[in-house]
Amino acid sequence: MTADAARWAADLSEAAVAGDRLALARLLTAVENGTPVAEAALRRLYAIAGRAHLVGITGPPGSGKSTLVAALIAEVRAAGRSVAVIAVDPSSPITGGALLGDRVRMQAYASDDGVFIRSMASRGHAGGLAPTSTAAAAVLDAAGFDLILVETVGTGQSEVEVAAMADTTVVLEAPEMGDEVQAIKAGLLEVADIVVVNKGDKPGAQRTAAQLRAMLVASAPRTGTTGSAPDRPRPKRPDVMITTAATSAGVPELLSALDRHRAGGRVDETSAARLVRAETQVFAIVAQRIRARLGDPAHVVDTAGLIGEVAAHRLDPYSAADRLLGKVDGG
Amino acid sequence: MTPLGPVEALTVGRSDHPDSIGAWRAGHAGYDGPMTDRPIKVLIAKPGLDGHDRGAKVLARGLRDEGFEVVYTGLRQTPEMIATAALQEDVDVVGLSILSGAHMTLVPRVTRLLAERGMGDVLVTVGGIIPDVDGPALREAGVAEIFGPGTTIAQVADYLRANARPRA
């Protein structure tokens, strides 16, 4: 890291924490771009982050995530708390471009310093978030926001990454999302702490919520019934709620449920969610550093050669990986 | 806002370089080392009351296809909303689409607010129905380029690539 990067990082971090929104925005840009300034800033800021409640909002495209986030912002502000939003939309796999449209539903807070909204393009990352979403959330956390809402790209059945970064995961469903078998499939619904059936004014909302309750809550194994393996991970028993985000119906109740989940002792520095988040972050950085070392001019020709051998089926991928790791071990 | 974090925890080892804060505030290219090839980030906004957003949407989609990261904020934006969005998103470009004739009122307010908030270096372009006679005054107010009817997406994209300076 250069002295310049360290200096910029120090200045930006200090200003962002003191409430300077431009500094915060610039810091987030550095984080998105994975620059040396971002790394230096995160090293400084990490110690003061960890106080915010990180809430993930995920669900299929068009289920109302952005509208729900907008309605939640209103509730949170009415309660006098500050809120930051990270809204992720997909990057084009073809051009790398992105259309970030989540702000359209969140425009009412232009002159409210207690609200900060940032769009992020997923930049090729496949889990529903951008590769730097967790780091961006840490910066917003350090900047003092009480609540951080992370809205994923529209998800399907298996983009569960947000659950690894959030203290509380909210999964949205629209009415008539499918039959009860959909509700007992593994994946997205399993990671929910709270399941929200949005568009509650549409026909079928009550029935969908009832089906979800029956399958996710009533039929989930109770503590002590997981048999002979007490350490086996237990399914969550999510709250199932109905909201109509467009009119804010049910949204105050949702905010209360978020607060209850946090207060339930499941969100603290030793909570499983935070351990998972920490582990994910550390391993992601390890992987990144290994890749960076292998891309180093000293190794890059060998690396490309090995990959070519694998592509030509002259070498199997396990042997290639072992040889590459051997290089990293050797410095 | 709730009380902010312990600032003093961050002041340890801070730079006492006299120009550093001012330099990043002014978007100084030196604040973050070498330029990356990351996408240029563009805010497409429609200030004022006209409801004609087809052009803005087509441009937003077209720039997406040209590899830009486009933040689209929708209809009926106040200059304050646009400046806030530009700042929070830390965009490189603000593109304003106006078909109502209110550009002489709205555009200078946007550029003034951007400057007041330390975003004076953002490239501001205007598209829509803008009489030639208003061009000089808009440029005087800080508009870099005006795109009228018949402009192609490729022309806009090429102009932005040549003139926007991506923040590192």
A111 CA: distance to closest CA in chain B (Å):
7
The model's pTM is: 0.86
Residue B131 is classified by DSSP as: -
Does A325 score more than 80 pLDDT?
yes
End-to-end CA distance of chain A: 18
Distances (CA, A) of A48 to A36, A143, A144: 20, 9, 9
Burial class (CB in 10 A: 0-12, 13-18, 19+), B16: exposed
Contact flag A15-B167 (C-beta cutoff 8 Å): no
Provide, as residue numbers in chain A, all residues whose Cβ is less than 8 Å from the Cβ of B161.
none
CA distance A129 to A126: 7
> What is the average per-residue pLDDT within A188-197?
90
CA distance A239 to A236: 9
Contact flag A143-B5 (C-beta cutoff 8 Å): yes
A145 CA: distance to closest CA in chain B (Å):
7
A69-114: pLDDT as tens digits: 999 999 999 999 999 999 999 999 899 999 999 898 888 888 899 9
Region label for A248, one of left (φ > 0), alpha (ψ between -120 and 50) or beta (otherwise):
left
Give the type of residue at B20. Answer: S
Q: Give the per-residue pLDDT at A233.
A: 66
> What is the average per-residue pLDDT within A14-37?
95
Contact flag A26-B90 (C-beta cutoff 8 Å): yes
Provide, as residue numbers in chain A, all residues whose Cβ is less than 8 Å from the Cβ of B30.
4
B126 CA: distance to closest CA in chain A (Å):
19
Touching check for B4 and chain A: CB below 8 Å?
A: yes
Which residue is listed with tokens 């060998």?
A: A302
Burial class (CB in 10 A: 0-12, 13-18, 19+), B86: buried
Touching check for B130 and chain A: CB below 8 Å?
A: no
Name residues 23-62 of chain B within 8 A of A (Cβ). 24-25, 30-33, 36, 38-39, 60-61
- Residue A28 tokens read as 């987030």
Contact flag B7-A18 (C-beta cutoff 8 Å): yes
Does A278 score more than 50 pLDDT?
yes
Distances (CA, A) of B112 to A21, B91, B115, B120, B145: 17, 16, 5, 8, 17
CA distance A7 to A117: 26
In this prediction the ipTM stands at 0.86
Touching check for B121 and chain A: CB below 8 Å?
A: no
Please list the residues that pair with A227 across neighbouring strands. Answer: none
Touching check for B80 and chain A: CB below 8 Å?
A: yes
What is the count of residue pairs from A and B with beta carbons less than 8 Å apart?
166
A226-260: pLDDT as tens digits: 555 656 666 788 899 999 999 999 999 999 999 99
H or E, element range at B45: strand B41-45
Provide, as residue numbers in chain B, all residues whose Cβ is less than 8 Å from the Cβ of A84.
none
Provide, as residue numbers in chain B, all residues whose Cβ is less than 8 Å from the Cβ of A17.
4-5, 7, 10
Average pLDDT over chain A, rounded to an integer: 88
Q: How many CB atoms lie within 10 A of CB A28?
A: 27
CA distance A264 to A282: 27
> What is the average per-residue pLDDT within A34-62?
93
Provide, as residue numbers in chain B, all residues whose Cβ is less than 8 Å from the Cβ of A90.
none
Low-confidence residues of chain B: pLDDT under 50: 1-36
Contact flag B167-A144 (C-beta cutoff 8 Å): no
CA distance A209 to A173: 9
Touching check for B87 and chain A: CB below 8 Å?
A: yes
Q: Quick check: B110 and B97 in contact, CB under 8 A? A: no
Q: Quick check: B48 and B98 in contact, CB under 8 A? A: yes
A237 φ/ψ angles, rounded to the nearest 5 degrees: -115, 85
